[in-house]
Chains A and B, each alone.
Chain A
């Protein structure tokens, strides 16, 4: 152990020396042009072939994608009619509504009923209040467009995920194929998904919907596999002894038994769908995401904040309802009598929907929240931000400049000054030390892939921004996590804040940051830190809380002070968990970093973003894969370190 400490310290010094003192020629810093492989060109060509001429028998891929799109489009249209459009006659301005969409009252009552069904009336009232907020603040229409997408994406994502999960459980080869695909899909940045979808399905809500479904499905697949595996073997034996056919065993025994676990996956699908539906506004999803995007582009402060708050409201409703559903214990409320007596809530919602629909013709306020009563906070937010910017410009600017000059620029110089071969060698060495030759090989291969894409410099900028954000997130997150674990009140407050932060789609983080610090690396860094903070806090708190109480008692008996218990017992025992938190923080930071391309960073994310703007599949995918490669390198190295730390603690 000891000589290695020296070696690592030496390598760090060499790196510092190389980067700061020696100014090496560019040929040393970046991989030579000669080793670049035109991946992007190949991918673009492959995609062109796929869309233009590829065919399975008489069916071209184009037909296939169209068919697929129709498959998703039909239910989407139905939901959209229900929530947004209603049934209309005629086109454009002269369109007259024959049957209106569900009134805001009906949808709100449905939210209350769902909350009551899932937990209690308080949850119902919370959901109802937030829905009313959407109506009062004039966000209703956009919110319903977003909700319509989610209402389609979630069931399809869940069904697809469960089906794939069952297949993977049933046939090991399916899992062998799926597992690396799922790994890649969780690390590849969201924007990179959008490019091929854009090319295959065009611009519009259906393409956005498909991107959402594909993006939200992987966790459901994983959860399904785990949940099916967790069904006790005795229950499987029982199913056999009861004479179940394989189909009956799955349908009547395994899936119902696995439902509590599956619901956790459903909740994840809901939240990921919301996140992606917002981002997919880039390829035409419409709704709240489009509002945010438009506001960001026009620097429309008030509009951005309003739409952002609406997304937050919707996210909180969906998250709380989803969580309550997943924790819901089936209550033994067997009701007798007619259908409406047995389903009082459904009946209530149906009655309200019909009544408000009919009465809405006479009293329009029941159908749509009247425009005159809408409260707009746009001027308020705009004034507030203007006020802050006017009064505190110097301070804000000082902070920004200090961070840029003291932190961002030196770190950036350091990373850009490292010779690429040296960095690869160090990574491979770390891989070898942590996980043997296989890991070293993997890390080296991924590193060489990035070198071969010709995106090395952009990758280094990504690493610098991501690395710095992660360090800051850990510096803030660790103490917060420790505080949350040690103090119950603080734990509750921090837990609530962190849970809310976690439900917000990544887009929302950009809004306040841009308003205060304008575009650039510093804004990007703050947004990334905010977004990536959650796992740092959560895992640290969880790691500290799960230290066995008898170890702490042993410390107390030995006469440790509280600080000593923390330093000598709790923190060392929590190291594996904290490392996992670090791992998650890095992954989140990378995914957010790509989105900060919107506020003008110049890294791999920007490359993906501009590829999206020009529908350049090859460029988008290759830069996306480069981000994924960075994520996988970090994930495997830290995962191996966490594994070693855990193994060491178990032996002890």
Chain B
């Protein structure tokens, strides 16, 4: 895995709802879940620490009520955390003034919402141009920029439609375009595809990956759908009861779950979707290879070629051959044997 510089980090972030949340945390205390509940408080986010690398797709995954939505709202400071630090390019957002926060949000953050949050009284173009209008950019410039992003999400020709005239998938494309209009470095997506039909969701995930390959933003992506998480993520943080249970690549999560909760989540995931060739490569040389494949390739993507070949494939990482994979090893993953 390539080491990336840290873009966004949060350290010991808490969000406790109730009458006296500060009292629970007084003196740097770390109250347990039981303690918080006993005093009639709700621990929406408990002691969350994360580091998100530049250009990384970081997925926060959890069931409803796990605190993932509150955590992303703490990261963007839509919700004021009870305690902790949130560092964006080294600057602590929680110490930023209201004016500074407006400045940061206007130019360096974008967010996509689960239910799109489009303004019903504005056209597609006006919606997309809205963040620029708020900054005070003049009409010509902002509309030109808005047209570019509308094109990027494939909605050209729809500029003068109103949101209600669009399908759910199209509406979310508008939401995506709008969040990208200001060219933010940091892109929050709060369950962006959860309100869409399964087929459209799939299509939008492809679209999202295409856009990300082009733009290379730093992304915090919230979802409750584990399949979506492993399709999109570089790394996944799993949350439960407001706490981060494990942060790992999809492959590590499946192969080395931190506890029974994570294991239960990953139990039904087809191994071929997450396991990479590097993981099952057997060290050493063989006489004849059918070809060479990268170690980061997931088995699902290359299974066809390996199984149909009459010889093993060499596996290379950073230009050096680290071993080989046989069709038998791939089949054993495909049929669900533990690697």
Q: Are B121 and A256 in contact (CB under 8 A)?
A: yes
Q: Which residue of A lies closest to B111 (CB)?
A: A241
Partner of A241 from B78, B116, B133 at Cβ < 8 Å: B78
Q: How far is the CB of B75 from chain A (nearest CB, A)?
A: 11
Q: How far is the CB of A195 from chain B (nearest CB, A)?
A: 43
How far, in angstroms, from A242 to B122 measured CA to CA in the complex?
15
Q: Are A241 and B109 in contact (CB under 8 A)?
A: yes
Partner of B105 from A242, A256, A259, A330 at Cβ < 8 Å: A242
Q: Secondary structure at chain A's binding surface: helix, strand, loop or mixed?
A: helix
How far, in angstroms, from A330 to B133 measured CA to CA in the complex?
21
Partner of B113 from A238, A244, A334 at Cβ < 8 Å: A238
Once A234-B117, A252-B134, A330-B121 are accepted as A-B contacts, the answer to whether A243 and B102 lie under 8 Å apart by CB is: yes
A232 in the interface (beta carbon within 8 A): yes
Partner of A243 from B114, B121, B131, B160 at Cβ < 8 Å: B131
Once A242-B131, A243-B131 are accepted as A-B contacts, the answer to whether A237 and B78 lie under 8 Å apart by CB is: yes
Q: Which residue of A lies closest to B133 (CB)?
A: A252
Q: Which residue of B lies closest to A256 (CB)?
A: B121
How far, in angstroms, from A259 to B102 measured CA to CA in the complex?
26
| Docked complex: B121-173 residues within 8 A CB-CB of A | 121-123, 130-131, 133-135, 160-162, 165
B304 in the interface (beta carbon within 8 A): no
Q: Are B135 and A243 in contact (CB under 8 A)?
A: yes
How far, in angstroms, from A240 to B111 measured CA to CA in the complex?
10
Once A235-B119, A242-B131 are accepted as A-B contacts, the answer to whether A334 and B160 lie under 8 Å apart by CB is: yes
Q: Which residue of A lies closest to B130 (CB)?
A: A242
| Docked complex: A233-273 residues within 8 A CB-CB of B | 234-235, 237-238, 240-245, 248, 252-253, 256-257, 259
How far, in angstroms, from A332 to B122 measured CA to CA in the complex?
10
Q: Are B105 and A241 in contact (CB under 8 A)?
A: yes
Q: Are B76 and A241 in contact (CB under 8 A)?
A: yes
Chain B residues, CB < 8 A from A241:
76, 78, 105, 109-111, 179, 188
| Per-position binary interface string of chain A over residues 205-247, scored 1 when its CB falls under 8 Å from any chain B CB and 0 otherwise | 0000000000000000000000000001011011011111100
Q: Are B105 and A332 in contact (CB under 8 A)?
A: no
Q: Are A248 and B160 in contact (CB under 8 A)?
A: no
Q: Are B117 and A237 in contact (CB under 8 A)?
A: yes
| Per-position binary interface string of chain B over residues 184-227, scored 1 when its CB falls under 8 Å from any chain A CB and 0 otherwise | 00001000000000000000000000000000000000000000
Q: How far is the CB of B112 from chain A (nearest CB, A)?
A: 9
Q: Are A237 and B113 in contact (CB under 8 A)?
A: yes
Partner of B111 from A237, A244, A256 at Cβ < 8 Å: A237
How far, in angstroms, from A235 to B135 measured CA to CA in the complex?
18
How far, in angstroms, from A253 to B119 measured CA to CA in the complex?
7
Q: Which residue of A lies closest to B181 (CB)?
A: A242
Q: Are B106 and A242 in contact (CB under 8 A)?
A: yes
Q: Which residue of A lies closest to B161 (CB)?
A: A332
Give 6 closest A-B pairs by Cβ, nearest first.
A243-B106, A234-B117, A243-B105, A238-B117, A242-B131, A241-B111
Taking Cβ atoms with an 8 Å cutoff, the residues of B that contact A are 73, 76, 78, 102-103, 105-107, 109-111, 113-117, 119-123, 130-131, 133-135, 160-162, 165, 179, 188
Given A237-B111, A242-B134, A252-B133: 14 more A-B contacts, CB < 8 Å: A232-B115, A234-B115, A237-B73, A237-B78, A238-B111, A238-B113, A243-B105, A243-B131, A243-B135, A244-B102, A252-B130, A256-B121, A330-B162, A334-B160
